Amino acid sequence: MSVMERMFQEAMRLTDTTALPAAVSLEIADLVPRPQIRKYFGEAALASLAESLRSYGVLEPILVRPRKDGRYEIIAGERRYRAACRAGLKTLPAIVLEVDEQQAKTLALLENLQREDLNPYEETLAILEWLELALSRPKEDVIALLQRMRDEVRKKVPHNVMGSQEAEEIQTLFRLLGKMTWESFVQNRLPLLSLPEDIRGALEEGAIPYTLALALRKVSDPTLRRQLLEEAKQGMSLRALRAKIQAHLQQTTSPPPFYRQALSRLAKVRLETLPPARQKAVERKLKELLRIIEETTGLRG
């Protein structure tokens, strides 16, 4: 069994409520959220959940682990914790787990990745963090490894990664998650890491889909990007957005200078295929052009 499969199975075992200890009631004041990938919690969704907790209570316990200071670190369920605080609750049902840091991190990642409302940017970070854990590599190395795998599949570079243990672990994770292939992740998700701040913020808030975010990433003019971003938030289609971006690029892209166009066209001409008279006429013109350049610049031969 691979490292990835062991991690995944262990995380799944620890989230199986039928095999976990009974839930206990813990004071909210004794709960501490752990740092996690998920940063954005929609205000409207939190308010709705808080109202539900006031009316019906907390139906699903959160997962925590004990801290040395006598308090409890939240492994899974921070959204319920935030909503409970907003609802004014004093206690929360919780299942206390005796797990180490790596197990806690794996559990938190799996809980996030299984959420339907996790935005694409945070999902990308969560998958990369899981790969960091499994491969014992920093994020930069994991990204470089994924890009190398892509280039090898495209036959741009020699094969020396595909078929390795690390490549197999990566493919195993994407197979277990069942969300996308590793190729799709490299092509469509890794570019999200370099989004401008305004686009990333809109994506994290759920204001635009990631396909529009990737399209907007191509716009370097901040003023135009802000304008198009607002239109995207209003529901502009991907096709319409791409058309506007293309029109802008055509307006701002200057054609190459005439001499470059002429040289490019000359490079494609085989003079020996021209009729003799035409060939001599072209050669005379080229010699005259060279003479002018040499007299002007002092460059010869």
Distance CA 127, CA 119 (A): 12
Cβ neighbours around 31 below 10 Å, total: 21
Residues 6+ apart with CB under 8 A from 93: 23, 24, 25, 26, 58, 61, 62
Note whether 33 and 198 are within 8 A (CB).
Answer: no
Q: What is the biggest distance separating any 2 CA atoms in the chain, rounded to whole angstroms?
A: 99
| pLDDT at residue 251, rounded to an integer | 75
What mean pLDDT is reported for the chain?
Answer: 85
Residue with tokens 């058309």: 243
Nearest to 179 by CA among 77, 110, 238, 129: 110
Tokens at 228, concatenated: 């198009």
Active-site residue set: 78
In the predicted structure, residue 259 carries a pLDDT above the cut 70 = yes
Residue predicted with more confidence, 117 or 206: 206
Residue predicted with more confidence, 191 or 9: 191
Average the pLDDT over 88-102 and give the result: 91
189: DSSP letter: I
Convert the pLDDT of each residue in 265-290 to its tens digit. 878 888 788 888 888 888 888 888 88
| pLDDT at residue 144, rounded to an integer | 94
pTM: 0.70
Residues 6+ apart with CB under 8 A from 48: none
| pLDDT at residue 39, rounded to an integer | 62
Which helix (H) or strand (E) segment holds residue 217: the answer is: none
In the predicted structure, residue 258 carries a pLDDT above the cut 80 = no
Give how far the C-alpha of residue 193 lies from the chain's centroid of Cα atoms, to the nearest Å. Answer: 5
Average the pLDDT over 218-234 and give the result: 91
Convert the pLDDT of each residue in 37-54 to its tens digit. 666 666 777 888 889 988
Residue predicted with more confidence, 110 or 36: 110
Strands 24-27 and 91-96, how do they pair? antiparallel
Note whether 243 and 233 are within 8 A (CB).
Answer: no
Determine the 3-state secondary structure of 75 from DSSP.
strand
Cβ neighbours around 195 below 10 Å, total: 19
| pLDDT at residue 181, rounded to an integer | 93
DSSP characters for 85-130? HHHT-SEEEEEE----HHHHHHHHHHHHHT-TT--HHHHHHHHHHH
Convert the pLDDT of each residue in 54-80 to its tens digit. 888 888 899 999 999 999 999 988 888
| pLDDT at residue 14, rounded to an integer | 62
